């Protein structure tokens, strides 16, 4: 049995990505399909890591998704843009937890927690201090 993720305040996040819902993203009731939520999170995660983390890592570093949890809070419907907010929630020796939230029309639609592992050719790599400093307090 899994516990629900805490619903954070999107105003506390500094990184935001905006997406538009496509017709192919919805079901017959005009609800966004649950798999599309995962796509919004993956795209925002890529942007966040590219813009905020990648530049602080060695060229041969890799960031690997080890685990993702998504809690669905409210429906999203076709027509209004979707905002996805991303931040580092915590940093371990070789892993980080990314916290994300999607919103539509100012209302939280879903929350995700993703564990990423920092790896090099030799295996797990510690995160540089500059990446550790990005963690939410």
Residue 29 scores a pLDDT above 60: yes
Predicted confidence (pLDDT) per residue in 61-88, tens digit:
999 999 999 999 999 999 899 999 999 9
Q: For the chain, what percent of residues have pLDDT higher than 90?
A: 87
Predicted structure pTM score: 0.93
Please write down the HEC assignment for all residues of the chain. Answer: CCCCCCCCCHHHCCEEEEECCCHHHECCCCEECHHHHHHHHHHHHHHHHHHHHHHHCCCCCEEEEEEEEEEECCCCECCCCEEEEEEEEEECCCEEEEEEEEEECCEEEEEEEEEEEEEECCEECCCCHHHHCCECC
Q: In the structure encoding, which two tokens stand for residue 71, read together?
A: 């809690």
- Residue 137: the pLDDT is 52
Q: Across residues 29-42, what is the average pLDDT?
A: 93
Q: Pairing state of beta strands 82-91 and 95-104?
A: antiparallel
Residue 1 scores a pLDDT above 60: no
Domains of the chain: 10-132 (3.10.129.10)
Q: In the structure encoding, which two tokens stand for residue 56, read together?
A: 């602080």
- Residue 133: the pLDDT is 92
- Residue 74: the pLDDT is 95
- Residue 2: the pLDDT is 62
Closest of 15, 84, 96, 17 to residue 52, by C-alpha: 15
Residue 124 scores a pLDDT above 90: yes
């Amino acid at each position: 049995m899994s516990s629900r993720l805490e619903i954070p305040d999107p105003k506390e996040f500094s990184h935001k990505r905006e997406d538009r819902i496509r017709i192919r993203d919805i079901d017959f009731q005009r609800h966004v399909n649950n798999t599309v939520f995962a796509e919004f999170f993956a795209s925002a995660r890529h942007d966040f890591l590219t813009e905020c983390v990648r530049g602080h890592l060695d060229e041969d570093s890799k960031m690997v998704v080890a685990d993702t949890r998504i809690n669905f809070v409210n429906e999203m419907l076709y027509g209004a843009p979707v905002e996805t907010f991303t931040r580092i929630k915590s940093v371990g020796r070789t892993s980080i937890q990314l916290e994300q939230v999607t919103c539509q029309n100012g209302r939280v639609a879903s929350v995700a927690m993703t564990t990423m592992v920092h790896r090099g050719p030799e295996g797990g790599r510690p995160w540089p201090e500059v990446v550790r400093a990005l963690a939410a307090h």
